[in-house]
Amino acid sequence: MARRRQLYEGKAKILFEGPEPGTLVQYFKDDATAGNGAKKGIITGKGVLNNRISEHLMMRLHDIGIPTHFIRRLNMREQLIREVEIIPLEVVVRNVAAGSLAKRLGIPEGTRLPRTIIEYYYKNDSLNDPMVSEEHITAFDWASVHDLDDMVALTMRTNDFLTGLFVGIGITLVDFKLEFGRLWEGDEMRIVLADEISPDNCRLWDAKTSEKLDKDRFRRDLGRVEEAYQEVAWRLGILPEA
Ligand code: C5P
pLDDT digits (tens, 9 = 90+) for 167-208: 999 999 999 999 999 999 889 999 999 999 999 999 999 999
pTM over 0.90: yes
What is the ipTM for the molecules in this complex?
0.99
Total domains, the chain: 2
Q: Are residues 112 and 218 in the same domain?
A: yes
Helix, strand, coil shares of the chain as percentages rounded to 5? 30, 35, 35
Looking at the fold, whether 116 and 105 belong to one and the same domain comes out as yes
Model confidence pLDDT, tens digit, residues 94-142? 999 999 999 999 999 999 999 999 999 999 999 999 999 999 999 999 9
Is residue 234 included in any domain, yes or no? no
The residue whose CB lies within 8 Å of the most ligand 1 atoms, and thus the one to mutate among 36, 53, 57, 92, is 92
Q: Same domain, yes or no, for 112 and 203?
A: yes
Same domain, 67 and 112: no
Take atom 3 of ligand 1 and give the residue whose Cα is closest.
99
Tell whether ligand 1 has an atom less than 6 A from the beta carbon of residue 92.
Answer: yes
Indicate whether 75 and 92 sit together in one domain.
no
Asked if residue 154 and residue 104 are part of one domain, the reply reads: yes
User: Do 43 and 105 share a domain, yes or no?
Assistant: no
- Verify that 111 and 220 share a domain, yes or no: yes
For residue 240, being part of any structural domain is answered with: no
Say how many Å lie between the first and final Cα of the chain, rounded: 25
- The number of the ligand 1 atom at minimal distance from the alpha carbon of 36 is 21
Containing domain of residue 47, as a range? 6-82
For residues 148 and 209, membership in a common domain is answered with yes
